[in-house]
């Protein structure tokens, strides 16, 4: 299989550094720094991490390899006080502090908790800066609980829109939904820990796929091509299990993941990224089964980026991570295409296809068809506004008008809005 390079620039880059992809992680704001500190990325070579905040005290507790204090002039080291305008302004003025960190990255993870000042105001600015510099930007963000203030929620929604414009994929994790996945009797604080864990796993999964040491690893060019278009809503789900049939159970766990139980899941999976991690006993056949099930579940016709890794430390365990993204644009307008950043509409033949084909010992014909894109794009741009609304929490009422009563959307299940934990 030959790789199709999208531009000379791409090719050169691949030649000059074929070994390592430069992955960087940046946590923005208090919650973002906390998320970045909690990442355990040992074993992935040099994944540089940084924390950016205006609050020197909280930054001092941050465990990232770099710490960047911003906004001294405005806040004298005391946080942005939840003011998103201040957060955005500081970040724009002091972007040079961050630029050096993000500029060398091929892949940048932006982590933030939306709803606060620096996180909501700063994350989109950083993402844009990195994207302009040619990096693939994945943003993992948490969104506030429904019972938090209306103001926080609306700040988060606005920030999400900005962030979507600046990132290749934004994966929002709703704290409301995560609460559903937490075990019983967990407090809200523990729920925050859950979001840290989930985002950690998501970042780790992508790093693992790219690491090159796995059973089926993913070429960075494939990942880049798959996410070259600006994405709309995303799916994110994790399943994990232990025991004899760990992989099968992990699949069951994944299918019960609250974050995946959204209507139109198939629509959201124009691009599907699947990573399976298991112990040394992980067999290609079993992995294939998982893949088949997931393909059916998400009826994905678009690109699938697939990776499978073996982790010696997980003997009887398995973990499946799914990230799906819908395309917002058929392809970026020509003017927007940065060198080396061209879309690869049909060259995204996945490693998975290759792996399956080679295993079956026959040539594969899974050429990815491009669908009637124009109509598609129209649909998308019309529904783009809906993305702002309550992330994926309205189910059947997804495309109907919001049903607002006292600042709450009544179409969102009551138990979610009230933080009632349902033990299924």
Query: What is the smallest separation between the CB atom of 301 and other proteins, expressed in angstroms?
Result: 21
Query: What is the smallest separation between the CB atom of 412 and other proteins, expressed in angstroms?
Result: 9
Per the CB < 8 A criterion, the answer to whether 268 and 325 are in contact is yes
> Among 189, 285, 313, 396, which residue sits at the site for other proteins (rule: CB under 8 A)?
396
From 50-58, 107-115, 243-251, 393-401, give the range in contact with other proteins by CB under 8 A: 393-401
> Among 104, 243, 395, 407, which residue sits at the site for other proteins (rule: CB under 8 A)?
395
**Nearer to other proteins among residue 104 and residue 395 (C-beta):** 395
Query: What is the smallest separation between the CB atom of 400 and other proteins, expressed in angstroms?
Result: 5
Q: Is 17 helix (H, G, I), strand (E, B) or coil?
A: coil
Q: Dig out the tokens for 333 from the structure.
A: 């307008």
> Among 1, 360, 403, 407, which residue sits at the site for other proteins (rule: CB under 8 A)?
403
Using CB atoms within 10 Å of the CB of residue 406, give its burial: 0 to 12 exposed, 13 to 18 middle, 19+ buried.
Answer: exposed
> Among 255, 310, 345, 357, which residue sits at the site for other proteins (rule: CB under 8 A)?
255
Residue holding tokens 């994207």? 131
* 73 sits in which H/E element: helix 72-75
Q: Does 414 bind other proteins (CB under 8 A)?
A: yes
From 39-47, 117-125, 220-228, 398-406, give the range in contact with other proteins by CB under 8 A: 398-406
CA 11 from chain centre, in angstroms, equals 26
Residues in contact with other proteins, counted by CB under 8 A, come to a total of 26
Per the CB < 8 A criterion, the answer to whether 166 and 98 are in contact is no
Query: What is the smallest separation between the CB atom of 257 and other proteins, expressed in angstroms?
Result: 8
Terminal Cα-to-Cα distance of the chain (whole angstroms): 46
261-300: which residues touch other proteins (CB under 8 A)?
261
Residue holding tokens 């630029």? 99
**Nearer to other proteins among residue 31 and residue 254 (C-beta):** 254
> Among 88, 117, 122, 258, which residue sits at the site for other proteins (rule: CB under 8 A)?
258
CA distance 242 to 127: 36
Produce one character per residue of 93-120: b if its CB has 16 or more CB atoms within 10 Å, e if not: ebbeebeebbeebbbbbbbbbbbbbbbb
User: Per-residue x/- mask for other proteins, residues 152 to 191, rule CB under 8 A?
Assistant: ----------------------------x-----------
Q: Does 253 bind other proteins (CB under 8 A)?
A: no
Q: Does 400 bind other proteins (CB under 8 A)?
A: yes
CA distance 422 to 154: 26
Q: Dig out the tokens for 310 from the structure.
A: 């073996």
CA distance 152 to 159: 10
Per this entry, what is the length of the chain?
Answer: 424
> Among 256, 345, 354, 357, which residue sits at the site for other proteins (rule: CB under 8 A)?
256
Tell me the torsion sign for CA atoms 211, 216, 219, 222. negative
Q: Does 397 bind other proteins (CB under 8 A)?
A: yes
DSSP type of residue 422 = P
From 85-93, 191-199, 289-297, 416-424, give the range in contact with other proteins by CB under 8 A: 416-424
Q: Does 248 bind other proteins (CB under 8 A)?
A: no
Instruction: List interacting residues with other proteins (CB under 8 A).
Output: 180, 255-258, 261, 393-397, 399-400, 403, 405, 410-411, 413-416, 418, 420, 422-424
């Amino acid at each position: 299989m030959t790789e199709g390079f999208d531009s000379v620039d791409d090719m050169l880059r691949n030649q000059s550094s074929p070994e390592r992809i430069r992955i960087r992680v940046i946590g923005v704001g208090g919650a973002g720094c906390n998320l970045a500190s909690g990442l355990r990325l040992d074993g992935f070579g040099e994944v540089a991490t940084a924390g950016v905040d205006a609050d020197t005290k909280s930054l001092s507790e941050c465990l990232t390899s770099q710490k960047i204090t911003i906004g001294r002039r405005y806040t004298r080291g005391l946080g942005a006080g939840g003011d998103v305008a201040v957060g955005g302004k500081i970040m724009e003025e002091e972007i040079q502090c961050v630029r050096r960190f993000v500029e060398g990255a091929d892949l940048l993870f932006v982590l933030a908790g939306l709803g606060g000042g620096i996180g909501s105001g700063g994350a989109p600015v950083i993402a844009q800066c990195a994207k302009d510099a040619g990096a693939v930007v994945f943003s993992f963000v948490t969104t506030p609980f429904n019972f938090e203030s209306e103001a926080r929620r609306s700040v988060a929604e606005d920030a999400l829109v900005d962030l979507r414009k600046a990132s290749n994929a934004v994966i929002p994790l709703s704290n409301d939904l995560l609460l559903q996945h937490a075990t019983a009797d967990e407090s809200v604080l523990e729920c925050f820990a859950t979001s840290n864990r989930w985002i950690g796993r998501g970042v780790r999964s992508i790093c693992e796929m790219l690491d090159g040491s796995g059973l089926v690893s993913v070429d960075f060019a494939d990942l880049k091509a798959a996410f070259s278009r600006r994405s709309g809503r995303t799916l994110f789900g994790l399943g994990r299990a232990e025991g004899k049939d760990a992989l099968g159970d992990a699949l069951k766990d994944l299918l019960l993941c609250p974050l995946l139980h959204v209507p139109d899941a198939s629509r959201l999976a124009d691009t599907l990224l699947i990573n399976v991690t298991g112990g040394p006993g992980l067999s290609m056949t079993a992995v294939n089964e998982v893949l088949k099930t997931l393909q059916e579940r998400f009826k994905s016709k678009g690109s699938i980026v697939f990776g499978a890794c073996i982790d010696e430390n997980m003997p009887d365990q398995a973990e499946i991570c799914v990230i799906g993204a819908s395309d917002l644009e058929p392809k970026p307008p020509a003017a927007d295409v940065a060198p080396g950043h061209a879309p690869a509409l049909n060259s995204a033949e996945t490693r998975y296809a290759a792996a399956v084909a080679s295993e079956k010992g026959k040539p594969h014909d899974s050429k990815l068809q491009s669908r009637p894109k124009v109509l598609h794009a129209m649909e998308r741009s019309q529904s783009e506004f809906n993305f702002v609304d309550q992330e994926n929490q309205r189910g059947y009422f997804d495309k109907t008008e919001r049903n607002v009563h006292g600042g709450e959307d009544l179409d969102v299940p009551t138990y979610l809005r009230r933080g009632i934990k349902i033990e299924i």
